[in-house]
Structure 1
């Protein structure tokens, strides 16, 4: 008899039933390991990390932060505009569980209930106002060195379950291993080079997102989704498309359903 397969997740208003969670975990780890390619795109890679966290963990949003050796922590990917703003606030305020997880190299759980917090009061107020009820931050470690953090935000009461914390640790480890193995393609590349590339591409992508937001009259999140979709459809590196768009050497049509009367020529 063939081995039993767990039933698929039930269908929802978002679409048809998905693969069983075990199968999705396997697919995610394989996807993150598939970095041994010449056209590896660090920017797209970290957004996929955030998407896998969203798909597999009981969270409302996810963010990925990285830092160069002896450099400041920076945001490189976020699952939504809402969490992006909270993450940037945390970095600007110089306080929060994600920073602590990075600098102390330990997982951090932080409940957010709207009451005055002893730890990170400004961050807690900002996160609460954004609709989050708790944060779990997992360090991304590479060869004993912490290079970043996975930041997992919940919108429903209660902390991240133990099983999800273990899976978050596995996703963080897979992220670090993937970065390390990708450098074997070119002996002149280093992990530092990969991190520098990822951090630099964020600026170009944010510029392109702002450009599309103004040009098409859409919100930043929709503009970014449209940018990624266009890059994937046309087999383009996300950062290359972003730079060409801002430079004016390429144009992207408005997303379907956009009111063209609001789009700037």
Structure 2
């Protein structure tokens, strides 16, 4: 593929991802376009960091990818985990001969997957996941294919990191507003100060083992006091 065609492909990809209304839809579109961008891949999926070291596979082109990722997480070994933890691209040329991830490679080989390429999805502050490519024949990803996948992952990372930040900020704003509404209910009902209302919420959160934002939302919806939850 000519350099000009590649540049146009990545520009269109970034625009398409940026137009997705939510992070989930952007992740889904990332996976869909990945196989098209890296033609030597038969399947693709994304490993996404849910919180700290907890990793999930929210989207994949087939159930086979999700199954292999689940096995990888359970075994705590595999290319996407290495890519995620090290912030690199990890290539398994042939699962029948790979010695770095013996149990994972054996599971992949048993299911007909012979090559795996995992590319870190990195933001300026941290690695947010990994984009994973799978092929049913060995040595599917040559040097050009690896570089192509890395460029695609790099472009996708920028968009996904921005969308994730936007979503986190929106959640923070929504959470703050909900807690404020719950405090307002308690202030009016008990004729107490904002500090005492917040303290009531904190005690109720601890006693009910609910997150503060969830307890606040419950109070706004039901009108119940924290002690009654």
TM over 0.5: yes
The 1:88–1:159 alpha-carbon spacing in structure 2 relative to 1, beyond 3 Å, is same
The 1:177–1:55 alpha-carbon spacing in structure 2 relative to 1, beyond 3 Å, is same
Alpha-carbon offset, residue 173 of structure 1? 2.2
Could you tell me which of 47, 58, 80 is aligned with 1:65?
47
For residue 81 of structure 2, what is the aligned residue in structure 1?
99
Alpha-carbon offset, residue 153 of structure 1? 0.9
Please, which moves more after superposition, 21-30 or 56-65? 21-30
Secondary structure of 1:188's counterpart equals helix
Secondary structure of 1:168's counterpart equals helix
Alpha-carbon offset, residue 157 of structure 1? 2.5
Could you tell me which of 152, 158, 172 is aligned with 1:171?
152
Question: 1:138 aligned to 2:119?
Answer: yes
For residue 136 of structure 2, what is the aligned residue in structure 1?
155
Secondary structure of 1:73's counterpart equals strand
TM-score (norm. length: structure 2): 0.64
**Greater share of helix residues, 1 or 2?**
2
For residue 74 of structure 1, what is the aligned residue in structure 2?
56
TM-score (norm. length: structure 1): 0.56
Unaligned runs of 5+ in 2: 175-229
For residue 162 of structure 2, what is the aligned residue in structure 1?
181
The 1:123–1:159 alpha-carbon spacing in structure 2 relative to 1, beyond 3 Å, is same
- Give me the whole-angstrom Cα distance separating, in 2, the residues matched to 1:108 and 1:146: 14
For residue 48 of structure 1, what is the aligned residue in structure 2?
29
For residue 251 of structure 1, what is the aligned residue in structure 2?
none
Secondary structure of 2:132's counterpart equals strand
Alpha-carbon offset, residue 187 of structure 1? 8.7
For residue 16 of structure 1, what is the aligned residue in structure 2?
none
The 1:144–1:166 alpha-carbon spacing in structure 2 relative to 1, beyond 3 Å, is farther
For residue 19 of structure 2, what is the aligned residue in structure 1?
34
Alpha-carbon offset, residue 161 of structure 1? 2.5
Over alpha carbons, which structure has the higher Rg? 2
Unaligned runs of 5+ in 1: 1-5, 7-19, 194-265
Q: Is the 8 A contact 1:34 1:178 kept in 2?
A: no
The 1:71–1:48 alpha-carbon spacing in structure 2 relative to 1, beyond 3 Å, is same
For residue 230 of structure 1, what is the aligned residue in structure 2?
none
- Give me the whole-angstrom Cα distance separating, in 1, the residues matched to 2:42 and 2:19: 26
1:218-257 aligned at under 5 Å gives the runs none
Alpha-carbon offset, residue 66 of structure 1? 1.1
The 1:143–1:185 alpha-carbon spacing in structure 2 relative to 1, beyond 3 Å, is closer
For residue 212 of structure 1, what is the aligned residue in structure 2?
none
What is the root-mean-square deviation in Å for CA atoms of aligned residues? 2.7
- Give me the whole-angstrom Cα distance separating, in 1, the residues matched to 2:113 and 2:27: 22
Alpha-carbon offset, residue 154 of structure 1? 1.4
Alpha-carbon offset, residue 167 of structure 1? 2.5
Could you tell me which of 106, 110, 125 is aligned with 2:106?
125
